[in-house]
Amino acid sequence: MAPHLKIIAAFGFVVAVVITPREAWWAFGAYLAGVVAVSVAARLRPGFVVFRLAVILPFLVAAASLPFLEGPPTWHGFSIEGLWDLWNVAVKASLGAFASILLASTTEAPDVVRGLETLRLPRALTAIMGFMVRYLDVVGGELAAMRVAMRSRGYQPRWLGEVGALAKGIGSLFVRSFERGERVYRAMISRGYAGRMPLEETVHATTAMIAASFAVPFAAVCVALIAIGSA
């Protein structure tokens, strides 16, 4: 499926979730059913999705204080307005993260960048994103090499006094990654790089692709409009 269609679909779904009134609990149930159906169609394991949803836990922990900070009226000592705010943050953050996980799990990072280029995002921005994705591998490779070197020399940090060596290692990692990245960039320039990566064959969006991509987002927008109208 064309990556730019997936990006538009994910963005449209998130917008529908965000504009839905917090009191329309039934709408959020419909959204959940939609993303679960997509995850089943994509053959994603439930444990895979739940594990990655843990990234929103810090936000939920911060939002857990809202029922204690808001004023009256209260319910069993908890602010009703604060409870609604907690529900609003939790459900919308969870659904938004779920949609992002679906996009990231079914689309390779270079394909996402190409999809953004298709959507006419500024070339400088997509180039920065592309380099960021590629240079993560560079940093990861340098880190793995340094860890092997440190372990081969018997370094096993167990005491607070050994943090200094770790800090020096981080500085060395930055310098080595920067130098290697500079060599890679010079090699790209010598091979004719002019600010844009060579594109592979573009996936043309067919009518079937468009219908499949926008089915859930279109339904989500309809649900959001109904929820807003009945609020």
Q: What is the pLDDT of residues 40-57, one digit of tens each?
A: 988 888 888 888 888 888
Bond into 3 cis (ω within 30): no
Q: Which residues of 139-170 are buried (b: 16+ CB within 10 A; e: fewer)?
A: beebeeeeeeeeeeeeeeeeeeeeeeeeeebe
Do the bridges between strand 78-79 and strand 74-75 make them parallel or antiparallel, or are there none, so unpaired? Answer: antiparallel
Sorted by where each begins, the domain ranges of the chain are 3-115+203-230, 121-190
| Distance between CA atoms of residues 50 and 56, nearest Å | 11
Q: What is the pLDDT of residue 36?
A: 92
Decide: 134 and 187 in contact? Cβ < 8 Å: no
> What phi, psi does 78 have (nearest 5°)?
-105, 140
Quote the pLDDT of residue 195.
Answer: 65
Taking the C-alpha atoms of residue 70 and residue 68, their distance in angstroms, rounded to an integer, is: 6
The string of pLDDT tens digits covering residues 153-175 is 776 666 665 667 677 777 877 88
Distance CA 31, CA 140 (A): 37
Tokens 């926008």 correspond to 214
**Token representation of residue 103:** 């996009």
Predicted local confidence at residue 193, as pLDDT: 74
Mean pLDDT, consecutive 10-residue stretches, the chain (231 aa), reads 86 93 90 91 88 87 80 75 86 92 85 81 78 76 78 69 70 79 82 68 70 86 90 67
Distance from the Cα of residue 210 to its chain's centroid: 23
Q: Model-level pTM?
A: 0.72
Does residue 103 contact residue 7 with C-beta atoms inside 8 Å?
Answer: yes
Phi, psi of 128 (to 5 degrees): -60, -45
Name the burial class of residue 16, with classes exposed (0-12), middle (13-18) and buried (19+) by CB atoms within 10 angstroms of its CB.
buried
**Is the sign of the CA dihedral 90, 91, 96, 102 positive or negative?**
positive
